[in-house]
Structures are given as C-alpha cells and as structure tokens.
Structure 1
Amino acid sequence: MNNSTATTAPKSWLILRPATWRQIGADLAYILPGFFISIVSFVVLVALFSLGLSTIVIWIGLPILVACLATARWFANVNRSALRRWAGEIPPVHYRERHKFSIGGMFKNLADPQLWKDFIHGFLVSFPLRTATFCVAVTIPAATLGGLTQWIWLRFLPAGNTPLAELIGLDKYLGVSPEIAEAWLGLFYGAVLLLLLPFITHLLAVADAATTRALLTNETAALRARSEELATSRAQVVSEEASTLRKIERDLHDGPQQRLIRLQMDVEAAQRRMTTDPEAARDLMDGALEQSREALAELRQLSRGIAPPLLADRGLRTAMESLAGKSAVPVAVSGNLGQGTRLPESAENAAYFVVSEALANVSKHSGANQAAISVDANPSELLIEVSDDGNGGAHVGKGHGLAGLVDRLSGVDGSLDISSPDGGPTTLRASIPLRA
C-alpha cells in the first residue's frame, strides 16, 4: 500500500488562492527536475544501446544490451517515484522474473516487454516531451514576471530601443507615448499569463504524467501476475491441507485408534475375569489405564497444528496469551488487539499458527532468554511481530520450521518478513489483510 500523500488539485483556479499557488509549485517541482533526468537518461541509453547494437555480432553487445535495459529500468523507477510524489497512488508495474547471467538467460531477460517500454520512455519519449514542457514551464513564469514589472525596467533599456507597442501602433491608438503604451501592454499580457499560469503548468504536468503512466506502469500485467501467484499459493495451501488431513488420518489409525482397540479388549477381558480371577482383572485394568494415558498423549500430540477451542471461543488475544504462558521462554504480549475482539476466522487461524510456530522456534533453536509478541489490528490489516534476544540465524529456507508459514500466509494474501542476523536479535513480522 502506498502511503504517499497525494497532491490534490485546488478546488478553485483563482490565482489569489493559496491552494492554486501550492498546485503551481507542485507542478513545477514535478516538471523541472524531470527535464534533467531525461537528459541524463537519453545520453546514457543512447550510448549503451548504440554500443550494444553495434557489437552484438561478436556477442559483447548482448550483456551491454542487458545492461542498457537494466539502466532504463532504474531511470523508470526514478520517474515512477517522482510521479508517485506528485500524483499519490499510481498503477502497479510488472516485470518478468530475472534469469541467470547466461546467454540463454540474457536473451530471456531481453524479452521482457516492460523493459523495452522503459527504454522507449527514456530514449525516445521523455527527452523531447520534457524539453518542450521545460521550455514552456520556464518561459511562461518569466514572461509573466517580465510583463508585470516592465514599467519598472523599461526605462533602463537603450535609448535606440523600439518598443513593441510602437511597432504595432498601440501608442498612436491610445494617444500616449510609446513608453507608456509599452508599460500598459506589459501589464496586460503579464496579467493574462498570470491568470493562465496554473492551467498551463498543470496541463504540462498532466501531459508528462500521462506518458509516464502509459509506458512505465502496467496494471493489467501486474494484476495477471498477482492472480497467477495467488492461484499457485492457494493450490499449494489446498494441497498441503489435504496432505495434513491424510497424515492425521494415518496417525489416528496407527496410533490412538489401535490403543483404543487394545483398551477395549483389555476392559472386556477384565470384565470376564472380574469374578473368577480378580488379580488378573486388576492387571488388565492397570494396562487399560496405561493405554488410555498413551492414547490421550498421542491425541494431544496430533492436535498440535489444529486451531484450539480457545481461539474459536475467546478470540486471538486470549489464544496468544495462552501460547505465551505455555512457552519455555518468558514471553510478553502487547498491542492494541483487545480481549474478545474478533477478526475473520481465516485471519485468526493464520495469525495463531504464525505465533505458535515462531514461539516453537524460539524455544527450540534461539537460545533466547526472553521474547515478545505484538499484535496490532487496524481496519485494513493485522500486524504481528514476534521478537527474541536469541542467537539469530533464523530463515525460511526449505526444510526449516518457518518455511510453511510463508505458504500459510499466502493463502490469506499475507506476507512474512524475518530479520535475524547472526548473533541476534530475531524479529518476525507478519501482515494479514482484513479486507477482501
């Protein structure tokens, strides 16, 4: 989500309004630096593209062309940042995944259409357009100021100077001297340009922004890529859930179910011997009691990874405080999520397992003396942070306990970030959207 403050258009274009002058300043702050960026991008991209194209026959040009497009992408990021500061929210952009630095990989990198759109913008479009907009944006304010102050500096011009008012006969038409006619002419066109200044500068900024949006953003491709990513992650989550259910089914069949069958057989045998051999019946009942304890222990082990009733009945805050209380490492719980506050079930389940897995890793691997959980909810997202003062080195690589959290969070459109340098501390941050 972009948190940039959008530059809002003034409610009125009256030149005396402060909002109008703020808009003029914002437009000029967007237009003028863009001209110098376009000069640099044009020169650099022309040089790289010409060198790469001329040496492509001896293969040296291939990495140069890749570098040219990478440079175009960098300039595109600069232009998008400028546009975001001026306009606030802008459409997303999508690039294809980068390939390895091999001949085949470089050819695949050159096939990314967005990189070529970045190149076209920096090479062919932005320089001529911004040169024109820069000239107009500088000339109009200068002409406005010059016309409004012409009555002051007109007297300092050389004596042989022929004013424009005299050339067009305005002095004779008004019946005044050429100097007075020239001063009135300057005030007239200066006032007209001053009234038109906000419209002109904003039109120039809008024209530049339109070309930047058209070439440097690609909302359709970005949404398509996001859709494919979500479809993949959801398919993976469904597959993992099905695999988990099959594993639970096997574990129930091979563990508690067999023990319960043995328990039933022992109880039935004890019933038969209750009157004829009480001692043997007592031994059988003792064995049945032990079988019941082991079955209960196995059921508790299997229930790990399944959302507890406490989460469903009393909410996320209470469930997390319960996890903190059971942790082998002292854990402090904070945040603005209150007792009894309910969130969407999918978000609560994902958050619970993130914290559960994080605390399990803290207890097993971190060597920490203390840990902390922060749970903050706002109307749009749930933010979770688990930190400890342990040895660090945690990551989400395959085969590690935290790897499954990325897939679990992707199933609810969430994200995971881990900071865990060697020597610690470790901080795990998860974000879960609360809006569809």
Structure 2
Amino acid sequence: MSRISDSPWLLPVATRTWREGLHLLLNLPLALAASVFAVGGFSVSGALLITLVGVPLLAFVLLVLRGYGALERLRARLLLHSDVAEPEPLRLRPGGSGPVAWVGAMLRSGVSWRAAGYALLHAPWAVFTFCTVLTLWAFGWGAVTYPIWYRWLSEPAGIHLDGEGNGWLWDSPPDLVLVCLGGVLCLYVAALVIRGMAHVDRLLVSGLLGPSAAGERVLQLESDRSTVVDTSAADLRRIERDLHDGAQARLVSLAMELGMAKEKLATDPQAAARMVDEAHGEVKLALAELRDLARGIHPAILTDRGLGPALSAVASRCTVPVAVEVDLPVRPAQAIEGIAYFTASELLQNVSKHSGATRARLEAWRTGQDRLLLQVWDDGRGGADAAAGSGLAGLAERLAAVDGLLAIVSPAGGPTTVTAELPWRDR
C-alpha cells in the first residue's frame, strides 16, 4: 500500500516535493559562495604561481572545494535521497610524505578538479533553479490562499484597464474559485518542474562529485589484489600444514622405524625384516600423500593434456556419478585453466559432501564473447547460498579477482546449478 504523500492528487504537498524544492532553493547561496571562492582562489593562486606561495594556495583552494563536494553529497543524500558513493581518497606517491607530497597529490587528484568544475558549473544552474522554484511557489501558494488575504488589499487584484478600478477584478466568488484553481494548477506544474530539476542535480552530483570509473576500477583492483594475496597466503599455509601433518610426519616415522630395524638387523633379522616391510608401506603412503599434495598445487594432467582431461580426472574422484562435457577447441591461458580446474574441483567436492545428490553434470565451453563458462549441476537437496558464509563465498571472491563471476541457482529441494564465468585469455 503506497503512502498518502505518494498519491498524484497530493503531488504539490508531497514530502518529496518539499525536500527537493528546499534543495533547489538552497542551491543559490551555497553555489554562489562556492563559485565566488573558486574564482577568487584560482585568480589569486594563479597570479602567485611565479612565487612559492601560489602552488600551496592552489592546493588549499582545491582542498576547500573537495570539502564543498562532500557537503553537496551530504545534501543530496538528505534532501534528494541520492546516495552518491565517496570518491577515491587522496593518494600520495609511493614513499612520499610531508607537505610537498600532499600538495602534489592534491594537484594530481581528479576528485579535486571535478569538485572545482562542479562549483563553477553549478552556479548558473543554481540561479535558474532558485528563481524558478521561488516564482512558481510564490504564484501558486499566493493564488491558492488569495481568498484569505485579498480583503486586506487596498484594491482587489485582477486585470486593471485604467486607474479608476475598471477591468476584471478578482473579488467575486467565481473569480476567487478560478484564482484558486489556477494556483493549484501552478503548484502541480511546480511539483513536476521541481522533480525534473532535482534529477538534473542528482546527475551533476553523481557525475562530478562521485567516484570516477577509473577510480572505481583502481579500488576494485586493489580489493582483488588483496583477495589474491590472502588466497595465496591461505594456500601456502594449507600446503605447509599438509606437509607438516602428513608427509613430513610419515617420513619422520619412517626414519625412526628404519633406524630401529638397522639396530635389530644383527640380533633379530626377522623383526628387522618386519620393520622394513612396515616402513615400505609407510613409504607408499607418504608418496601417495605427496602426489595428492602436488595435484592440489597444479596437477600434471592439466599441464600436459589440458582442461578437458583434467576435469574428467577430477570428476572421476567425485563420490557422485558425474557426466562431463567439455567443448574447448583450443586451450585458454594457463592461469585461466588453473582457476577453472580448481573451481570445478571445489564445486564437485561440495557435491560430494553436502548435496546428497545421486547424479551430477559438469560442462565447460567457450562463449562467443570470449568467456569461459564452467557449469556444475546436481539433483541434490539444494539450498546452496554464497551469502551463508560457505566456501562458495570464497570461491566467488577468487573469481572476482580475475573479472570472473559465480552464479548460483539452488532452490530448496534442488536441483542446484552453479555457473562460473571466467575471461578467456589465449595462451
């Protein structure tokens, strides 16, 4: 059920109309102050550029205008309900510090210059919006309330043909009704105009005071780099743990058993033979663990034969029967192959451990948009959700680090379809 203030019949008195109208009226004093400061600051600092004062003064002017940009984003958030994201922060050069580095960063920052451009461009628009809103509201509300205050006029309003009161004077009941209707119509027009001009303000704030596309890309790459670094560190810790708790422990035990067998070789050859036989079994287990560990780092079959055979191999180890279909006429880059392989491996592990499925399907193909798609389907219980903090969330972050995507369709009761999309890069 919509709110009463959203009714089109109450458009002139809707909360949104008042908020946006107030925003447009406040444009004038704020924009004029910012534009006067910007013009004066740039003029003075430009004239002083030949001295040591001009450059720091220019940086200070840009700093103040960045603050004005923050104020405008706050005003847009409160009055226009436009949540514009904060732009990229000021970035010093690597190893830079101190006032000189700060001044250089301020002058290089695109955020600073966009805020300056906003201050200069917004001033004439602010004059227009202020005059338009003030005129429409003054005429509209004045006409609507005219039947109340016209009695205090020395002469009723209207169309005067001469100075002796001849003409169309608005003092009869029909005339008062017409004036009120004209005022209501004017208020409706004002509400529509206000919403249109407020949308222009939203575009100006988001376009000039929000984050730039390049800045957002830099922040995304930094986040992706952190994800890759964290993932690599976690993989190294896992390898270290597997070596320490698995193969290394077995090799230590093997060395101890061989040492005891050596001591018993002269006194009790049969016991020594049994110990050597047990040590031989430990060697086989240690070799199997090392092979599994090496396969987890980068399987040899992936390097030698490509993604198709590697996916068939990982599917054969799944506890659920998996049908594999791979349509890749050529091999992608090694990095993409590795990510696709480990993505499929983790998804099939989830099928084995959590799905309760009786069958599954693994498909991989290249799209016409140079993307590698990897899809795992199973007929299990469903309910898989990356937002639940499972391994799917970490998998989605890893894919995002290389401009990939993870899409999950898993209604309760199943089936589950997980699609991983990766950029195609040739070898």
| TM tier, smaller | 0.5 to 0.7
Structure 2 residue corresponding to 1:146, chosen from 127, 142, 146: 142
SS at match of 2:14: helix
Alpha-carbon RMSD across the aligned residues, in angstroms, is 5.2
CA distance in 2, matches of 1:166, 1:69: 55
> Alignment partner of 1:94: what SS?
coil
2:161, 2:84 → 1: CA distance? 50
- Work out whether 1:97 is the aligned partner of 2:94: no
Structure 1 residues 409 and 237, CA gap change in structure 2 (3 angstroms)? farther
- Secondary structure, counterpart of 1:218 in structure 2: coil
- 1:117 counterpart residue number: 114
- Contact 2:85/2:211 (<8 A) preserved: yes
Residues 230 and 410 in structure 1, CA contact (< 8 A), matched pair in contact too: no
- Flag the 1:313–1:93 CA change in 2: closer, same or farther, 3 A: same
Unaligned runs of 5+ in 1: 1-7, 289-294, 296-311, 315-340, 351-380, 383-407, 415-435
Provide the rounded CA distance (Å) in 2 between the counterparts of 1:13 and 1:52.
Answer: 51
Work out whether residues 45 and 72 of structure 1, in 8 Å CA contact, stay in contact via their aligned partners in 2. yes
1:150–1:187 Cα contact (<8 Å) kept = yes
Q: 1:105 to 1:166 in 2, by over 3 A?
A: closer
Is residue 41 of structure 2 the alignment partner of residue 48 of structure 1? yes
Q: Does the Cα contact within 8 Å between 1:230 and 1:413 map onto a contact in 2?
A: no
Is 1:210 matched up with 2:203?
Answer: yes
Q: CA deviation at 1:267?
A: 4.8
SS for the counterpart of 2:206 is helix
Task: State the alpha-carbon separation in 2 of the partners of residues 87 and 11 from structure 1.
Answer: 15
**How has the CA–CA distance of structure 1 residues 13 and 168 changed in structure 2, closer, same or farther, with 3 Å as cutoff?**
farther
Write the mapping of 1:236-315 to structure 2, written as runs, cut at 5 A. Answer: 236-241=229-234, 243-244=236-237, 247=240, 256-269=249-262, 272=265, 275=268
Cα pair distance change 1:349/1:207, threshold 3 Å: closer
Which amino acid is the alignment partner of residue 197 of structure 1?
A
- CA 1:179–1:258 in 2, change beyond 3 Å: closer, same or farther? closer
Distance across 2 between alignment mates of 1:9 and 1:234: 47
The range that moved more, 251-260 or 45-54, is 251-260
Partner of 2:371: none
The aligned counterpart of 2:9 is 14
1:128-168 Cα offsets, whole Å, 9 max, x none, are: 2222212222232221222123344334334xx68441249
**1-side partners of 2:16 and 2:387: how far apart?**
45
Say which SS state the counterpart of residue 165 (structure 1) adopts: strand
Cα distance, 1:92 vs. partner? 5.7
Letter in 2 for 1:63: P
CA distance in structure 1 between the partners assigned to 2:177 and 2:385 by the alignment: 70
SS of residue paired to 2:8 = coil
2:344 is aligned to none
Q: Which deviations, in whole Å up to 9, do the C-alpha atoms of 1:41-73 show, x marking residues without a partner? A: 234333432332221210211111111111111
Q: 1:276, 1:411 → 2: CA distance?
A: 56
The aligned amino acid for 2:253 is L
Question: How far is the alpha carbon of 1:253 from its aligned partner?
Answer: 9.9
How far 1:30 moved relative to its partner? 2.6
Residue 214 of structure 2 is aligned to residue 221 of structure 1: yes
What's the offset of the Cα at 1:211?
1.7
Identity %, equivalent residues: 16
Structure 2 unaligned residues grouped into runs of 5+: 280-285, 287-351, 355-382, 402-420, 422-427
Q: Contact 2:65–2:116 (CA<8 Å) still a contact in 1?
A: yes
TM-score (norm: length of structure 2): 0.55
Q: Report the CA distance shift for 1:258/1:117 in structure 2 as closer, same or farther (over 3 A).
A: same
Matches of 2:386 and 2:201 in 1, distance apart? 43
